[in-house]
Homo-oligomer: A and B are copies of this chain.
Amino acid sequence: MKTKIINFANKFTKFADLWSPKIIAQMNDYHFKLAKIKGEFIWHSHEDTDEVFIVINGSLTIHLREGEVILKEGEMYVVPMGVEHKPSAEQECQIMLIEPAGTINTGEAGGDMTAEYEVWI
């Protein structure tokens, strides 16, 4: 049989660019995406969806207007719909994002860091 086992570590070997989420799976109309991040992203929000962050490897800081959240490997956080956030990571960090298909990484903010949102690996 053709299996579709998704191994996160293996998928992370397939790309190197930062802040550019790659789709690894679809569940109904949601996408599971992996991203490598380092440095600071931009402040943005998603007006029509919550967004899940799971740290696979490393440490991720999610800056919020009310403070910041620091996530390590094996931890997740749900950024609620409409809440402004700015991810950052001092060292390269590997994360999984879960959100509706078509969600733009920069949300309502746009700008230079906007990535293609339909790249499967």
Contacts and interface: CB of A to CB of B under 8 A. Distances in A.
Interface stretch (A35-43, A66-74, A85-93, A111-119): A66-74
Interface string A44-74: 0000011110001000000010110111001
B50 A5 contact: no
Contacts of A7: 74-75
A32 B8 contact: no
Chain A binding surface, main DSSP class:
strand
B64 A4 contact: no
Interface of A: 1, 3-9, 24-28, 30, 32, 49-52, 56, 64, 66-67, 69-71, 74-78, 81, 98-100
